[in-house]
Amino acid sequence: MKYRRLGKSGLEVSLLGLGTNAFGKRADEDTSIRIIHHAIDRGINFIDTANIYAGTESERIIGEALVGKRQHVVLATKAGLPTGTGPHSRGSSRYHLHQELEQSLRRLKTDYIDLYQIHTFDPNTPIEETLRTLDDMVRSGKVRYIGASNYAAWEFMKALGISNNKGFVRYMSSQTSYSLADRTPEQELIPMCLDQGVGLIPYFPLAGGILSGKYLAAEQAPQGSRAETDPSFNRFLNDQTIALGQQVSKLAADRGYTPSALSLAWLMDQPVVSTVIVGATKVQQLEDNLQSLEVQLTPELAQSLQEISEPFRDGKPFALYRLT
């Protein structure tokens, strides 16, 4: 396994991380635990979850899986997206964050979180309140590093400026949709991260499976695919994204790689990326994704990937989760 520092912090994370959105939903508890244990055995130390994944089941399952193994992983979770309909059931207020941190700690069976992330920008809470709360959490020992997800570049930079001015702990990572099918972070977010020493953590690195090449037409969802199990995913399927998946598949096949491994290797080649989180619903899927670490991304191949994905640099992000 290869490791990188999370931004300019001293925290080292595996270049391939484990995303756990499917645990307790598309992968049952026993399967999820086997995947986690296999990931650890193969050197993956970064496990990413959130308080809302599978209605809290993801965190609970991870807690069970890490009994006796907690010291081997960098555990990341999030809070901020809605957990219910009450007045304090969303956002990044001091009230909500303390409430959610305590519940996450209980479910994860740990007394600290390595990376605590705000799941999305909260327009209704003063950002100083959020940052002071996170600073208090780090000082208490319950949180070691902090990050943010789904922030626009200006929101993230505003947070860094306030932290610098007030002496608060700074965000060390930004989690965002980033892939060959979504290069919109290159416009503003990635230049900001490079300038400020912030590590990027891409989610949807395979565009929900589109970059695996398994989708041949928008109306033909493969059995067991995300488009079949989650009908809302079909909004991402169109002629342009499917064509990109097929182009990546051809480049990969010509060189003896899988399209998934090649797509992940392209992300890993980006200097701003600290770790690429990839989900799995079975052990073999995780093992297949580990092949990305063996891909030899030549300048010629990298240029070809840049060219076929250039249309995805502008326009709307592939995915973005925001509070309204």
Active site residues: 53
Widest distance between CA atoms in the chain: 55
Tell me the CB-side half-sphere exposure of residue 295, using CA atoms within 13 A: 30
**CB–CB of 77/116 below 8 Å?**
yes
Each as own residue / partner, the long-range contacts of residues 266-269 (CB below 8 Å, 24 or more positions apart, any chain) are 266/180, 266/297, 266/302, 266/305, 267/178, 267/179, 267/202, 267/205, 268/15, 268/16, 268/292, 268/293, 269/297, 269/302
- Cβ-based neighbours of 98, under 8 Å, separated by 6 or more: 133
Q: How far is CA 49 from CA 69, 107, 154, in A?
A: 17, 12, 25
Distance in angstroms (rounded) separating the CA atoms of residues 263 and 245: 10
Distance in angstroms (rounded) separating the CA atoms of residues 153 and 157: 6
**CB–CB of 77/46 below 8 Å?**
no
Distance in angstroms (rounded) separating the CA atoms of residues 249 and 263: 9
